[in-house]
């Protein structure tokens, strides 16, 4: 591992100022992904600015009902938070579906959003990879891609985003707060991550020096009847092969509110806007759920070994929405 300098930040302004002075510095919080990448030689920062002790550890309810999550709130604490469990169960379930208990105790809300793809070529410095070393190629396209993207990929990169939590945040319409030396700004969670296009080295729309300080969950009655389902190759401590974050409210048998996002299908959490539009105001039937999934999945372009994800996501979507419909009717 390359030697690096270490700075501990006491406040947000100090953190972003310290980082801005050193082009080789990066932020570190829980370190559950970055330290692995440093050991592998994938990340080689010259300095770490430790933001784990910044006073961003609270979950606060704002007067309008928004739940503000500090960026340093640990994944395990957020999953167990009573208001998250009551008002946004899909988020609690998504967090608990991710990683292991030990990792969730370390991982932070901000860091979770910024974890990098687990594409095997990205993590192996002996291989070409446009994301790690722009311009070198994408061996995954003709190589090992069983768990890579079916939606929104490019010739340059077919990676998937690994976070479960981010899928729930996209579905919930969360808002990400960012600070940098130029000031503060807000980004819709659904727009934080980007599709690869010709710049797969950029996972998000964040600029260098941006620090995530909080995530807002807007009040959303539909979210009280929500769930996160994850398919994976083993029962725990594995990344998704496909996942569904869904929320549903029904009035007189017709869909009054719906949120839907998918994980492990694209370079970003995939908010299924077309499916939502197809469902809204219509009947809450399995046929409607499947038709809505089909409408969204019409754009899928699977690779040689990952076409199974289309049927997987289709079935999981219908099953998750079906369970939510049934639960609400009781
Ligand atoms: Fe690299 Fe993306 Fe290709 Fe994987 S899919 S090898 S991350 S360019």
Model confidence over 211-253: pLDDT tens digits? 999 999 999 999 999 999 999 999 889 999 999 999 999 999 9
Domain that holds residue 256: 222-329
pLDDT 10s digits, 164-187: 999 999 999 999 999 999 999 999
Instruction: From the CA of 137, give the closest atom in ligand 1.
Output: 8
**In the predicted model, what is the mean pLDDT of residues 66-75?**
98
pLDDT, the chain, mean: 97
Taking CB atoms within 8 Å and a gap of at least 24, the contacts of 11-19 are 11/54, 11/55, 12/54, 12/56, 12/179, 12/211, 12/213, 13/179, 15/49, 15/51, 15/54, 15/211, 16/179, 16/180, 16/181, 16/209, 16/211, 17/181, 18/49, 19/49, 19/209, 19/211
pLDDT 10s digits, 266-324: 999 999 999 999 999 999 999 999 999 999 999 999 999 999 999 999 999 999 999 99
Closest alpha carbon to 286 in 309, 308, 314:
314
Ligand 1 mean position to 118 CA, how many Å? 9
Total domains present in the chain? 1
> Torsion angle, CA of 204/206/212/217, rounded to 10 degrees?
-60
Residue 330, pLDDT > 50, answer no
Cβ of 145 less than 6 Å from ligand 1: no
Cβ of 149 less than 6 Å from ligand 1: no
Residue nearest to atom 1 of ligand 1 (CA): 129
Cβ of 134 less than 6 Å from ligand 1: no
Q: Tell me whether residue 25 is in a domain.
A: no
Domain of 261, CATH number, reads 3.30.390.50
Q: Tell me whether residue 116 is in a domain.
A: no
Q: Given pLDDT bands bounded at 50, 70 and 90, which one contains residue 157?
A: very high
Residue 329, pLDDT > 60, answer no
**In the predicted model, what is the mean pLDDT of residues 52-65?**
98
**C-alpha span between 192 and 205 (Å, rounded):** 6
pLDDT at 236: 87
Q: Tell me whether residue 267 is in a domain.
A: yes
Cβ of 138 less than 6 Å from ligand 1: yes
């Amino acid at each position: 591992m390359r030697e690096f300098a270490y700075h501990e930040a006491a406040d947000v302004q100090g953190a972003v100022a310290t980082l801005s002075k050193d082009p080789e510095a990066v932020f570190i919080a829980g370190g559950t992904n970055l330290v692995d990448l440093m050991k592998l030689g994938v990340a080689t920062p010259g300095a770490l600015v430790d933001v784990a002790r910044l006073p961003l550890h609270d979950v606060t309810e704002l007067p309008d009902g928004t739940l503000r999550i500090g960026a340093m709130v640990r994944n395990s604490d957020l999953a167990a938070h009573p208001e998250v469990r009551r008002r946004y169960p899909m988020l609690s379930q998504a967090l608990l579906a991710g990683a292991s208990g030990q990792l969730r105790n370390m991982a932070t809300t901000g860091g979770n959003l910024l974890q990098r793809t687990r594409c095997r070529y990205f993590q192996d410095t002996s291989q070409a990879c446009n994301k790690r070393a722009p311009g070198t190629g994408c061996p995954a396209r003709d190589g090992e891609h069983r768990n890579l993207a079916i939606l929104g990929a490019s010739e340059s990169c077919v990676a998937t985003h690994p976070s479960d939590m981010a899928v729930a945040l996209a579905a919930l319409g969360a808002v990400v707060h960012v600070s940098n030396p130029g000031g503060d700004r807000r980004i819709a969670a659904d727009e934080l991550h980007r599709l690869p296009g010709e710049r797969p080295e950029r996972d998000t729309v964040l600029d260098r020096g941006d620090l995530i300080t909080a995530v807002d969950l807007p009040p959303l009655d539909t979210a009280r009847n929500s769930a996160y389902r994850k398919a994976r190759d083993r029962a725990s401590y594995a990344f998704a092969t496909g996942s569904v974050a869904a929320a549903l409210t029904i009035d007189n048998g017709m869909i009054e509110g719906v949120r839907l996002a998918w994980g492990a299908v694209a370079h970003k959490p995939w908010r299924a806007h077309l499916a939502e539009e197809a469902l809204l105001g219509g009947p809450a039937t399995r046929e409607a759920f499947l038709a809505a999934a089909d409408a969204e999945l019409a754009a899928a372009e699977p690779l040689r070994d990952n076409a199974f994800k289309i049927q997987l996501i289709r079935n999981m979507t219908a099953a998750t929405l079906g369970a939510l419909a049934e639960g609400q009717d009781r």
